Amino acid sequence: MTNGSYTPDGARLLASNIVYSTVSIVTGSIALFVGNWAVIHWYGSDFHGNLVWLISAIQIALMASDFGLANKAGVRTIARLRGQGSDQLDQAVSSVIYVPIFVAAVLAGCMFMFGEILADARPGVDASLVRWAASWIILSAGIRACRAVAIGCERSFNILLMIPLAETLKTTWIFVCAAANLPGEAVFYGWTGAWVVALAVSLVRLRTLLREFGMVVSFTAIRTADTVRVVLEALPFHVQFVGLVGLPFILQLILGSWYAAEESTTRLAISSFQVCFSLALIPRLLGMPISTSLLPRIAHLSAIPEDGHAQIGVILQQLTRLLGVAGTLVFALLCTWGPALLALLYPAEYAGATVTLLILVAAIGIDNYSLQLDQVLMATQYAKIVAFLEVLRYGTLILVAWFLVPESGTTGAAVSVLVGAGINVAGKIAVTCRTFSPLGLGPFAQTLFIGGLITATLLSGHATMCMPVWLIGALVLRLLRPREIWSWVLQAKRIVLTGA
């Protein structure tokens, strides 16, 4: 393959982006996990439940602000225009940066104006804190826009200094507040400062990227008609992003509204669902950076299409095996030690969330494969199909949640996530088989089979046997290939040590 596709240079670039994206997501996730733990232990589950609810509302507003421009659509457009050497690159980058920030400013203004109404929706949430948190929408939108440019240029090292930096500063501030015995409201003030610092660093990294690629960003480069067209083209990509990132926030709002329980129980349900979801995301610490790095690489290859399909098939086979090993390993570990982990990390009232945790881990494992199919479909002009299947997922999820959440709470919410994930991946497999070939379907089927064996072992009352069952099943089915895993480890080590 030529022109920087899956040559050794192209493979190294993909591997490098995966490594840096993984470090970025792992760092941010660890900071988020520690932050949740610290808030629960020092400020209680009631404060944590209300904080999570408010963050959920902000994240939904943030997702509505970029229309996909500061995410998948913007990344794909920048990558393709780079591959084509197009003179429209400056205009595209300008749109990716300025349009989401402008819309975010409008939404933040609305949130500030209607702070009282939002505060009334949740007992214990003060209107002044809602208005203070409105600034997070603008600051986050700016950071996300810089991140989209970095990923589209396949320079993922830069994203280490963006969202992970903000999450690390936020978590550090919680410890400062606890040490100084500051009230919970002080958390909001420090978090705003964390977003400001992260945005300043992101803008510095953006300036470096613009110089490297000879790009010029200007508000005057944006044309209204072209921007409207780009936004309409970006919306199908945005639906997938909303489905991926907005899932926990939407379900936390559903729990707050539909769970038929006392207020204190509802707050605990919101808090415990956030805890379980953050733990369940462990397999996604690998799935997300892989999918993030795949989209620009496949989009770049699709502009140079010689034998790209065969190479995409090879990539998907390897990555699906890697994700299958990681996902089933985490599932087996949590089946064995999940209850002990919750008891060790959190107060006693969180111990009953083990079933919710395991269901969510299974759903995330299925979603990891779906994420890889998304990148292929979105990079090759099938984004509308991905959007339709995401809408179908959410319709199914909300319908199941409507039946189960009022009585079952967090367990019902977790089941709705699992059912939605199953419907979603089945549709994407069907589309991929018709348009390409069953990319990575063999390793995914092996992953499901091993997950079924682990589940059967757990239900039979032999939780301690889940790890041996995983190891034997993965080796026999050749999902776990030690030599292949070792080659990934060596390549990641070389990238970390040499930066190349």
On whether the CB atoms of residues 79 and 273 are closer than 8 A, the answer is no
At residue 236, the pLDDT reads 72
What average pLDDT does the structure give for the chain? 81
What is the C-alpha to C-alpha distance for residues 474 and 489, in angstroms, rounded to an integer?
18
On whether the CB atoms of residues 36 and 272 are closer than 8 A, the answer is no
Q: Render pLDDT for 386-440 as a digit per residue (tens, 0 to 9).
A: 888 988 998 999 999 999 988 888 899 999 999 999 999 999 888 887 776 656 7
Residue where the block lists tokens 């010689």: 306
Q: Is 154 helix (H, G, I), strand (E, B) or coil?
A: coil
Give the dihedral of Cα atoms 197, 199, 201, 206; nearest 10 deg: -170
Per-residue CA distances from 196 to 219, 220, 239 (Å) = 22, 26, 28
At residue 451, the pLDDT reads 93
Q: Nearest Cα to 374, choosing from 236, 281, 280, 229? A: 236
Residue where the block lists tokens 């190349």: 500
At residue 104, the pLDDT reads 87
Per-residue CA distances from 122 to 107, 127, 332, 333, 336 (Å) = 20, 10, 37, 36, 37
* pLDDT confidence tier of residue 454, bands split at 50, 70 and 90: very high
Please provide the distance, in angstroms rounded to a whole number, between the alpha carbons at the two ends of the chain.
21
Count CA within 13 A, CB hemisphere, residue 108.
19
pTM of the model: 0.70
At residue 117, the pLDDT reads 77
- By mean pLDDT, which of 9-18, 51-60, 458-467 is the weakest? 9-18
At residue 419, the pLDDT reads 95
Between 245 and 112, the higher pLDDT residue: 112
Residue where the block lists tokens 């992260």: 198
What is the C-alpha to C-alpha distance for residues 366 and 485, in angstroms, rounded to an integer?
21
* pLDDT confidence tier of residue 2, bands split at 50, 70 and 90: very low
For residues 199-207, average pLDDT = 91
Give the dihedral of Cα atoms 429, 435, 439, 444; nearest 10 deg: 10
At residue 90, the pLDDT reads 83
Q: Render pLDDT for 465-494 as a digit per residue (tens, 0 to 9).
A: 999 999 999 999 998 888 887 887 776 666
Burial (CB count within 10 angstroms: exposed 0-12, middle 13-18, buried 19+), residue 142? buried
Q: Which of 153-167, 246-260, 328-342 has the highest mean pLDDT?
A: 328-342
CA 396 to chain CA mean position, Å? 20
DSSP of 108-148: HHHHHHTHHHHHHTSTT--HHHHHHHTHHHHHHHHHHHHHH
